[in-house]
Amino acid sequence: MTARKAAKILDESYNHLTVKCTQHAGDLIYVPESWGHLTINHGFTIGAAVILNEKYHKFNNMSPQTEEEKSAVAVVHKPKNIPFMFVHINKTGGSSIIRMLRSRCTKEYTEEHWGTDHRTFHATALSHIDHFSRKSWDRAYTFAIVRHPLARQVSNFFFLASMCENNKERCRSRYIPEEVMGEKMDLLTDMEKIKAFHQWIGDLYEAYPPGSPDQYLFGSLGHGNEATISFNNTQTSWLIDEKDEIVVDNIFHLEDLSKNMAALTESIPCLGNKDKDGSNYYDDAEVSRMLKEEKTHVDMIHSNAAPKYPDYTKFTKNKKTIRIMEDVFDVDYKNFGYKKYESTL
């Protein structure tokens, strides 16, 4: 059968027996003797395979697992009955939702760490699927929050700049201009802040253009998701599976989140407030307060406020920036119905 058909069967019925990894250019994978394997190419690919000399077969000698070890592996890989999964795209106000889930859904909300830099807090849909299994993903209610691409990038810039005071070298690698690092941003006028943002966009585009290996660094860290070849700087890449199909049940716009919280609490009842009779109800005022921090540019995880900055629409007057935004985030504008800005400057 074809590789994709075999992979589908393995995912559905033998997920606890399989090991997956994404191989990038230059990577070498050793497949032990008597192991079956398959490859699925993400686009045009050239690969080379070599059958190793018999002298290397000594590396296949492993002591058999004990019954206790077998049981431990089976427990780890057994599909979990998780009621909901939230794909938390950075700088989209998701921290407010995380706080609500932690405080109201203590029994239902699942948070885990795995690998060297992976956690559910900023895991993509594909990372959730790879870790919890496709069955667990399909059983759960899944959702995400997106934001206007330019507004997200503006928020990201000022957040990163505010974090630079104690880690200037890291910020230089992210192309944050020296004159805006840390408290220096507070001394600038709005026009100077806008100019610094446009400079940042141009520098990022030159360093991490679409198609480059590290393109996800255009505005955010990978949070472990960069291990998958489909991950990039777009919000869309957070929401797709291995077939590049969007696989979350609901996508909410940050701009309309307060109005849509009633729909979210219908799918996740524990998010709603408890009435005296035990039933759930929706409190618009309380949810508005929960989301207020994002609107005032407060990062809720690091508990520090990013510098005040102009509304993102003030950043639409630079023709080069608008062209770069459309080039980099075109798929987000299309998938989420956001307005593109035109400039005559």
| DSSP, residue by residue, 224-292 | TGGGSTT--SSSGGGSB-TTS-B--SEEEEGGGHHHHHHHHHHHSGGGSEE-TTS-EE--HHHHHHHHH
On whether both 145 and 46 belong to a single domain, the answer is no
In a domain, 242, yes or no: yes
CA dist 161 and 149 (Å) reads: 18
On whether both 53 and 187 belong to a single domain, the answer is no
Give the model's pLDDT for residue 95: 87
CA distances in angstroms from 33 to 54, 56, 59, 63, 177, listed in the order given: 10, 10, 9, 15, 52
- For residue 15, is pLDDT > 90? no
pTM (predicted TM-score): 0.72
In a domain, 324, yes or no: yes
Residues of the domain holding 341: 84-345
User: Which among 52, 73, 94 is the end of a domain?
Assistant: 73
On whether both 239 and 341 belong to a single domain, the answer is yes
On whether both 253 and 205 belong to a single domain, the answer is yes
In the chain, the number of structural domains is 2
On whether both 9 and 114 belong to a single domain, the answer is no
Of residues 32 and 324, more confidence is placed in 324
On whether both 54 and 197 belong to a single domain, the answer is no
Tell the burial category of 340 from Cβ atoms under 10 Å away from its Cβ (0-12, 13-18, 19+): middle
The model's pLDDT over 211-247, given as tens digits with 9 standing for 90+, comes to 888 888 887 888 888 877 788 999 999 999 988 999 9
On whether both 91 and 39 belong to a single domain, the answer is no
CA dist 150 and 163 (Å) reads: 20
In a domain, 78, yes or no: no
In a domain, 79, yes or no: no
The predicted model gives 272-290 an average pLDDT of 55
On whether both 40 and 89 belong to a single domain, the answer is no
Give the model's pLDDT for residue 54: 74
Cβ of 285: how many Cβ atoms within 10 Å? 8
pLDDT band at 84 (very low <50, low <70, confident <90, very high): very high
The predicted model gives 69-90 an average pLDDT of 71
On whether both 8 and 134 belong to a single domain, the answer is no
In a domain, 108, yes or no: yes
Residue matched to tokens 């809720």: 300
The DSSP result for 297-345, as a single string, is: TEETTTTEEPPP---GGGG---HHHHHHHHHHHHHHHHHHTPPPP----
Is 147 within 8 Å of 92 (Cβ atoms)?
yes
Q: Which two tokens stand for residue 177?
A: 């201009």
On whether both 88 and 185 belong to a single domain, the answer is yes
Give the model's pLDDT for residue 197: 94
CA dist 178 and 184 (Å) reads: 9
User: Which among 73, 97, 126 is the end of a domain?
Assistant: 73
Query: What three-state secondary structure class fits 87?
Result: strand
On whether both 190 and 300 belong to a single domain, the answer is yes
Partners of 142 in beta bridges: 85
Give the model's pLDDT for residue 85: 96
Percentage of the chain beyond pLDDT 70 is: 81
